[in-house]
Chains A and B, each alone.
Chain A
Amino acid sequence: GNSVTQMEGPVTLSEEAFLTINCTYTATGYPSLFWYVQYPGEGLQLLLKATKADDKGSNKGFEATYRKETTSFHLEKGSVQVSDSAVYFCALNDYGQNFVFGPGTRLSVLP
């Protein structure tokens, strides 16, 4: 079946540091890939997405490139801020209605 694996957290960085959160997936078809962010006490918000191989999703300084050859969709940001502290979920949709979420990675950014 389909699955998503993310790097273990928590990840703690200083402000302005470079961020990478690794995400790899297993899917039977040709999925779309997503990153969601969840701030404390809130629902999930879509951060970015990519729908085919080599697509790059970007938003608010975050980027991720759909790598079919390595089945990966790593999240990066060049300079994190304290306000980026949240839990980040990688997810895929392999057609149809149901998503598969990764376990989430908690990011803490210190001033």
Chain B
Amino acid sequence: DAMVIQNPRYQVTQFGKPVTLSCSQTLNHNVMYWYQQKSSQAPKLLFHYYDKDFNNEADTPDNFQSRRPNTSFCFLDIRSPGLGDAAMYLCATSTSGSSYNEQFFGPGTRLTVL
């Protein structure tokens, strides 16, 4: 089945220690998103890629970076995690060009910062 895969599902890191979360998709969608979600609040968009074009939300901290080496993969790098960065991180994909298109979400990676 076509899907969005996130690894790992659970990640523990130490305060200040860089961490990378990964996302892959078999849907061949050209848009990929990273969201941060805390305590079943609404997901907060961090950034998205439209093909290779990177789009950063204005309030996304510089501590968060992203890479998309090809259509299928996208990475979220947190350079110096703080306690406030503990959250669920959701990857999503969609096709572009229409408001009709839904986003497809992965299962999420829950990040714990010690």
Interface residues of A, Cβ cutoff 8 Å to B: 29-32, 34, 36, 38, 41-46, 49, 51, 87, 89, 93-99, 101-104, 106
Contact call B48/A45, Cβ cutoff below 8 A: no
Nearest B-chain residue to A98, judged by Cβ: B45
Roughly how many angstroms separate A101 CA and B6 CA in the complex, as a whole number? 21
| Other A-B pairs beyond A49-B100, A97-B96, 18, CB < 8 Å | A29-B99, A31-B99, A32-B100, A36-B105, A42-B108, A43-B106, A44-B105, A46-B104, A87-B40, A93-B99, A93-B101, A97-B31, A97-B55, A97-B94, A98-B48, A101-B42, A103-B42, A106-B40
Chain B residues near A96: list those with CB within 8 A: 96-97, 99
Could you tell me the distance in whole angstroms from the C-beta of B39 to the nearest C-beta in chain A? 10
Contact call A42/B107, Cβ cutoff below 8 A: yes
Could you tell me the distance in whole angstroms from the C-beta of B85 to the nearest C-beta in chain A? 19
Could you tell me the distance in whole angstroms from the C-beta of A25 to the nearest C-beta in chain B? 13
Q: List 8 A-B contacts (CB under 8 A).
A: A32-B100, A38-B40, A44-B43, A44-B92, A93-B101, A95-B98, A97-B31, A106-B40
When A and B form their complex, what is the total count of cross-chain residue pairs whose Cβ atoms lie within 8 Å? 66
B28 within 8 A of A: no
Contact call B40/A104, Cβ cutoff below 8 A: yes
Roughly how many angstroms separate A97 CA and B101 CA in the complex, as a whole number? 9
Contact call B90/A32, Cβ cutoff below 8 A: no
Contact call A43/B90, Cβ cutoff below 8 A: yes
Contact call A45/B105, Cβ cutoff below 8 A: yes
Could you tell me the distance in whole angstroms from the C-beta of B89 to the nearest C-beta in chain A? 10
